[in-house]
Amino acid sequence: MRTDAFALRHIGPRENDLQHMLKTIGVDSIERLVYETLPDDIRLKAPLQLDPAMTEYEFANHIQELGNKNKVFQSYIGLGYHQAIVPAVIQRNIFENPGWYTAYTPYQAEIAQGRLEAILNFQTMVIELTGMEIANASLLDEGTAAAEAMALLFDVRTRDQKKNNTNKFFVSEEILPQTLSVLQTRSTPIGIELVVGNHETFEFSEDFFGAMLQYPGKFGQVYDYSQFISKAAANEIKVAVAADILSLTKLTPPGEMGAAVVIGTTQRFGIPLGYGGPHAAYFATKNEYKRSMPGRIIGVTIDANGNRALRMALGTREQHIKREKATSNICTAQVLLSVMAGMYAVYHGPKGLRYIANKVHAVAATTANELTKLGYEQTNSAFFDTIVVKAEAQKIKALAEQNNINFFYIDEATVSIAFNETTSIEDVAKIVSIFAAAKGTQAPEITELTVTNHFPEALNRTSSFLQHDVFNKYHSESAMMRYIKMLERKDLSLNHSMISLGSCTMKLNAASEMLPLSNPQWNNIHPFAPLDQAQGYQEMLRKLEQQLNVITGFAGTTLQPNSGAQGEYAGLMVIRAYHQSRGDHHRNIALIPSSAHGTNPASAAMAGMKVVVTKTLDNGNIDVEDLREKAMLHKDNLSCLMVTYPSTHGVFESAIQEITKIIHDNGGQVYMDGANMNAQVGLTNPATIGADVCHLNLHKTFAIPHGGGGPGVGPICVAPQLVPFLPTNPVIPTGGEHAITAISAAPWGSALVCLISYGYISMLGAEGLKSATEHAILNANYIKEKLNGHYDTLYSGEMGRAAHEMILECRPFKQKGIEVTDIAKRLMDYGFHAPTVSFPVAGTLMIEPTESENLEELDRFCDAMISIRKEIEAATIEDSNNVLKNSPHTLAMLTAETWDFPYSREQAAFPLDYIAENKFWPTVRRADDAYGDRNLVCSCAPIEAYMES
């Protein structure tokens, strides 16, 4: 065995397992299996033109050399990004811990109670710091959170405003520039007219439905917005406030001023800069708007025994139900980062957060005072952490960079300095010495910090926050470490067993790919640092773009979208811009098969398109004749087709090239959803099938971990005609010559985690990538055949093969009184996370094993599924007191004195021998979703306070 070949470590099945697996499937080679799975006319004719695969050791040295090309300066640039201290106990036990970063979105609540509690802490922190009533489980970044706030306020307009098509949205000129760019992108397609101006001179009128303010302003000025918000309310204008979360420990929270929505980023709560991400945004609003709130909400409920349990609340808000009527296509969050930010608040508590904020304010105030003494004018009359100094910018810039310091240069005569928790009194002295040198004078000695508040007394926060026990008891490292471990033990992640989620591709996140993320040379770079300070990043990002171009067969890539849903939206906006550049402003019809993921129609609606649904045949394939008919009917207005390939049903449709030709012949572009790219890489690609743009889920196919529901990266790759329209950024320009405005806040989105995909591709190389795809198909078809006779597979290809995933038919089990949910919950007793439940077909399970799982794990999973099938046979519709209906079984149940069930404790907890070796215990019984939605609680208050009387 080649011990230095990464592919052998990443791919699960061993060489000596292949003959057994192939025999089970009924083929004599992997090549034959691929032939029976993929249409031959879309196979690539040559290997991918990629660099030879690196060994793990070579990659470690390579990434270190690249990192050395980055210059880690002290950055006081601000604009929503600040250096932060990641507490070591959080870095080691969460950020670097696969028990946290390999978890899946907590759809199966009973085996995600630890993560759910951590997110509930985050929500509680946000609610209390903002002064609002309800918060979600995080969003992608501040810019996109602001866009979601605008969309929410548009959705909750008064009846008269909707009747009169009131569509103006005021944005303060104090807004962060990248946020404004994202607002511009999001507003135009859905008919919102942005009006940017001075909030102090804004004339309130009935033409406006909403407004957005920045608190403090983009260059640090602190305003009292209470009068503005009051006047707005009198004019039925609802106000969203983008607020710096650390400042809210000292400043009056926007909720107390009457804001309808408060959004922002939690990056400075212990999250690395990472050249722009990933960072968890926050979103808080009023209870009355909860049904319109984007993203996920974690709520408190009870389990089958009446005990406290947590789960995702208000599921009907999800896009797969609302589809094109959804106000948002958000199907992901930044859970790993929100967990870290919430734990930062847990570790420091209210007093610790106030101490950090006081220190940040003190270094800003001290610097302002010292610069004033030197004769400089500091123009912010009230500030928290950012000062603005009148000075000769180019002279200051030269001196600052000699001292490895970045400021933000507003213009030739104005310098902005944003302070952070890493700033010490020595740093203040260095900053002051730079300004002294620019004047040719001696810098004063600074021995203590100024502690006077530099904002109005009326804005001094008087309300308490974070009084719950969880924020006041884990302040020693031992206590914090044990709390984190206690929560980790409640969650089933990939470090315990396979997570075979169809459409979600839960593959190995290799340690060698993850290690660079902890290196300050990579994680401590400001996204708006000068490009010559980020040469390592620039080389890595350009190379990753080029690798993705080769893999997809396309001409250009943008890495900016920081989720798959954002990638969908970006692809559609690029198509929209292309049509408009040709004068085809009327092309606004998006054809979408009925089997598509719910984010597809939601994205199309957000991009200003009208959705026309095309039929699906009984075998799961697109109805080509219905598609042809609708494409021709709408040919004058056809914008695009959104298609997933292989299909959402796990099949390579042989008519795909005919389908794409129909769209092109009728003037449209083809958008390919890359959710199933794990079945394409190295075998075929989107360009070959005839697509014009695709998004890729780097958190699926290219090994970025799901992190419990984020981080995600959703770049788009495009054909030559679409390259000019790739998105830009207002601070650091990116994209094409006719670039659309920003999709996400940072120029390269969540750049830090792109290192993972770069490592994955670089260490696998062309041969390894192809082999990974082949083994993904092998593993899926092995499971399909092992389960044959026990479960029916709903859809197969023309030669009876699955792609990299399959759908198991579970609806007939209703005759036994068994729902698909019962199978999902029972799998927990066997130590497995359920496959995808009821998507894309209600009452089914969609299974995707990935290439990373070895034969032993595949067999364990199949044994569990076969054992459950026997349990289904033993069930009756008349008697619901059975092992399936009562699952999952907790340790408390098994150790109770009484046992009132018609089956043994052993059958409940240890139905197969292997389970005893590595038993995972769900910590709650089945969660009651309906109870939780009727009694919505989304913060850390005890359940007793909300129990029904």
Please give the angle made by the CA atoms of 429, 430 and 432, to the nearest 5 degrees.
Answer: 65
What does the pLDDT read at residue 947?
Answer: 45
283-321 pLDDT, tens digit each: 999 999 998 999 899 999 999 999 999 999 976 555 445
Q: Are 38 and 683 in contact (CB under 8 A)?
A: yes
**Mean pLDDT within 323-328:** 70
149-201 pLDDT, tens digit each: 999 999 999 999 999 999 999 999 999 999 999 999 999 999 999 999 999 99
What does the pLDDT read at residue 141?
Answer: 97
Q: What are 614's two structure tokens?
A: 């095309």
Q: If you ran DSSP here, which 8-state letter would residue 11 be given?
A: S
Band of pLDDT at residue 2, cut at 50, 70 and 90: confident
Please give the angle made by the CA atoms of 510, 511 and 514, to the nearest 5 degrees.
Answer: 95
To which residue do tokens 């001023």 refer? 257
Q: What are 365's two structure tokens?
A: 């105030």
H-state helical runs in 476-563: 477-488, 511-514, 520-523, 535-552
| First vs last C-alpha separation in the chain | 66
350 by DSSP, 3-state: which? Answer: helix
Residue of 398, 56, 91, 120 whose CA lies nearest to 274: 91
847 by DSSP, 3-state: which? Answer: strand
CA-only gyration radius of the chain, Å: 28
393-439 pLDDT, tens digit each: 999 999 999 999 999 999 999 999 999 999 999 999 999 999 999 99
Q: Are 886 and 46 in contact (CB under 8 A)?
A: no
Least confident of 228-242, 361-375, 499-513, 585-599: 585-599
Name the phi and psi angles at 917, rounded to 5: -70, -25
Kind of pairing between the strands at 844-847 and 806-809: antiparallel
Least confident of 838-842, 857-861, 893-897: 838-842
More confident residue, 330 or 766: 766
Strand partners of residue 196: 171
Is a pLDDT exceeding 60 seen at residue 737? yes
**Mean pLDDT within 221-244:** 98
Is a pLDDT exceeding 90 seen at residue 607? yes
What does the pLDDT read at residue 322?
Answer: 63
CA-CA distance, 285 to 255, in Å (whole number)?
8
Q: Are 831 and 111 in contact (CB under 8 A)?
A: no
383-395 pLDDT, tens digit each: 999 999 999 999 9
Residue of 106, 83, 529 whose CA lies nearest to 298: 106
Is a pLDDT exceeding 80 seen at residue 945? no
**Mean pLDDT within 549-558:** 98
What does the pLDDT read at residue 222?
Answer: 98
Q: Are 751 and 559 in contact (CB under 8 A)?
A: yes
CA-CA distance, 328 to 565, in Å (whole number)?
9
Cβ contacts of residue 398 below 8 Å, gap of 6+?
none
**Mean pLDDT within 917-930:** 94
Q: Are 829 and 889 in contact (CB under 8 A)?
A: yes
Q: What are 436's two structure tokens?
A: 């002294």
Tell whether omega for the bond before 888 is within 30 degrees of 0, i.e. cis. yes
706 by DSSP, 3-state: which? Answer: coil
Q: Are 835 and 847 in contact (CB under 8 A)?
A: yes
H-state helical runs in 156-259: 159-163, 177-187, 226-234, 254-257
CA-CA distance, 134 to 761, in Å (whole number)?
41
CA-CA distance, 361 to 924, in Å (whole number)?
44
Is a pLDDT exceeding 60 seen at residue 944? no
CA-CA distance, 80 to 142, in Å (whole number)?
8
528-539 pLDDT, tens digit each: 999 999 999 999
Tell me the percentage of the chain whose pLDDT exceeds 70. Answer: 98
What does the pLDDT read at residue 941?
Answer: 64
627-659 pLDDT, tens digit each: 999 999 999 999 999 999 999 899 999 999 999
**Mean pLDDT within 538-543:** 98
Tell whether omega for the bond before 686 is within 30 degrees of 0, i.e. cis. no
Tell whether omega for the bond before 272 is within 30 degrees of 0, i.e. cis. no
Band of pLDDT at residue 909, cut at 50, 70 and 90: very high
Residue of 718, 715, 726 whose CA lies nearest to 687: 718
Is a pLDDT exceeding 60 seen at residue 949? no
Q: What are 575's two structure tokens?
A: 């198509």
224 by DSSP, 3-state: which? Answer: coil
CA-CA distance, 320 to 316, in Å (whole number)?
9
Q: Are 76 and 406 in contact (CB under 8 A)?
A: yes
User: What mean pLDDT, rounded, does the chain reach?
Assistant: 95
Residue of 337, 325, 172 whose CA lies nearest to 242: 172
Give the number of other CB atoms < 10 A from CB of residue 584. 16
Burial, 549: exposed, middle or buried (Cβ in 10 Å; 0-12, 13-18, 19+)? Answer: middle
Tell me the percentage of the chain whose pLDDT exceeds 90. Answer: 93
CA-CA distance, 611 to 634, in Å (whole number)?
11
Band of pLDDT at residue 938, cut at 50, 70 and 90: confident
